[in-house]
Structure 1
């Protein structure tokens, strides 16, 4: 006979437990599947729209604040899902600050790519070109065209000690200077965002920095050349401003520089019309004898030597001519008045008188008289 093995007393109890566990696992799997489906739905693009919205990412802003903004503006469905997606993809560390334009319907990959490349909204810019030979007053008037307070700009240009640019320290403490930083405001094309034009003082600082930068392109040893002539930088800039206002043709700049130094070395008055024109708010078409008698340290008809300071903003070419003048015997020059913008040069006063006569004849022919 075979012995009958009785059923284990716990075997019957395990079956319901296993069924319960299986059911729990099934429920958990269904929940996970549902959660995955729901999460995938949150990662889908929002409905496509043609109207773009602005998204701002300030410097130092985190991905949570960005995600909340994107959700609020309808670019993504869920801020929390987007943050988790970024962490999963190890993205967000290369996002570039700025203002962006995005449209609903963009994929997460497209959003991330735009932020990584820094494809920000291009700000509307304004450009201001300051011509060589402009005075501080003319520069202020030009800047006023884009909304800069002209009076505040001139006031800022009266305070050289307020700026960190190297050459600003060259301005002497001379009460006779009309505008302390006259000549130091480098003529160039400047560009700023239309909605973020700097304050006048910052514009002055930028122009002073441009002067420092341009001086770096001069030939090596230029400061030694300046010192060999016994000039301070302020005096060099003054000579350059005279050249800038007197010479139109590039090939004449060094020659006119040579004439200026020749007259200075002989203690002759420079007799440069531009220094008298500097005394007027608006330059005159023609100077009369009475104008040449106006008392001012800038009037080089009445006073020998250089004026107290520059009379305009010289460009690099004029500064170079002031450093390296032509070796010339000339002491006089007069405009040809033939439309060429050139000059007639002379060694003696008699030759100069002949040149003046020739100049007047050119002018007469030009007007048909």
Structure 2
């Protein structure tokens, strides 16, 4: 009899624990993580496990108990069936509401792919094709660097009144169909800050600002056809800026044709922002971006550099003594590099002879 009573007491205790546990779990399912809070962008990757989704929801303070979320998904037959996509969730949503949202409330998105080496007008045209915002709206935002300066410390060296030319990182993005121009620009600046962070601790050029690195990177991006040559071409341009080399090359001029192309702007005849053939008159255009006429770096970037060009600008080939380069006869985008004018003239004659 005593054993029976002990057994019944044990069963009752187990039932009480289960009941309390169920009550707590039910409370978590019905309660929001917070009484108030800002909406959070949450992305579910294709094939992502429910437990991993729950863990990230918890780290974003959208739920309190990831284990209960995972269990609830299994009980509802949704384990492994939450839809990949981009969502806007709120900490004021209940766990059950979040689970429902992750099945059907994806934000409509458009894909935006920006190649390396484009100027703002070209990027704006790509943005407009997504149908999200117009090119004009995007350019108004992108040309107002002051609007974003306080949000991004890497813009501290951006000159007063400068645009964000060069700072909108080339990549593939997913943007909401209802995104504003400011939001698209901010997304691209976020990616820039992320990528620049990979090289900022190993800048080998002394006494330079982020803006100067970005300016050089944009020139390297437009000048180099081969990624492997970017550090050497970067070295050539930095070498040209050294005071001791001024007598040997243009008195401190960079002599970079892409900066002249940038200064000239759009060519209706070629339907391009980048003219393929520059005339003698083109090379004399009176613009601070004309590095064949004015010494030093131009006022700012001329295009959006990718990570390879950024790295090359920050980490030029320190063993390269060159001041000149000319396209090679291989016609594969490669160049021949020279330390003296005489050597350059030999390579130039070779190139002209093989045309």
Question: How high is the TM-score relative to the length of structure 1?
Answer: 0.62
2: CA distance, partners of 1:313 / 1:94: 47
1: CA distance, partners of 2:142 / 2:107: 28
Q: Give 1:293's match in structure 2, choosing from 278, 284, 287.
A: 284
Q: Look up the match of 2:261.
A: 277
CA deviation after TM superposition for structure 1 residue 168, in Å = 2.6
Q: Look up the match of 1:199.
A: 180
2: CA distance, partners of 1:261 / 1:113: 57
Q: Look up the match of 1:238.
A: 215
Q: Look up the match of 2:309.
A: 318
CA deviation after TM superposition for structure 1 residue 124, in Å = 5.1
On the 8 A contact 2:220/2:233 being kept in 1, the answer is: yes
1: CA distance, partners of 2:223 / 2:276: 15
Q: Look up the match of 1:161.
A: 146
Q: Look up the match of 1:339.
A: 331
Q: In structure 1, list runs of 5 or more residues that go unmatched.
A: 1-58, 61-89, 100-111, 365-369
Q: In structure 2, list runs of 5 or more residues that go unmatched.
A: 1-32, 35-67, 84-95, 247-251, 267-272
Q: Is 1:208 matched with 2:189? A: yes
Correspondence list, 1:30-49, <5 A: none
Change (3 A) 1:345 1:123: same
Q: Deviations over 1:115-162 (max 9, x none)?
A: 468322655532111111111111111111112211221111122222
On the 8 A contact 2:329/2:350 being kept in 1, the answer is: no
Correspondence list, 1:208-227, <5 A: 208-218=189-199, 221-222=201-202, 225-226=204-205
Change (3 A) 1:234 1:117: closer
On the 8 A contact 2:255/2:292 being kept in 1, the answer is: yes
2: CA distance, partners of 1:118 / 1:141: 33
Change (3 A) 1:125 1:202: closer
Q: Is 1:258 matched with 2:235? A: yes
CA deviation after TM superposition for structure 1 residue 113, in Å = 11
2: CA distance, partners of 1:270 / 1:241: 13
Q: Look up the match of 1:135.
A: 119
1: CA distance, partners of 2:145 / 2:153: 10
Change (3 A) 1:118 1:354: same
Q: Look up the match of 1:183.
A: 166
| Off by >4 Å, runs of 4+ in structure 1 | 93-96, 112-117, 121-124
Change (3 A) 1:161 1:117: closer
Q: Look up the match of 1:120.
A: 104
SS in structure 2 of the partner of residue 360 of structure 1: helix
CA deviation after TM superposition for structure 1 residue 209, in Å = 1.1
2: CA distance, partners of 1:297 / 1:337: 32
SS in structure 2 of the partner of residue 260 of structure 1: helix
SS in structure 2 of the partner of residue 295 of structure 1: coil
Question: How high is the TM-score relative to the length of structure 2?
Answer: 0.65
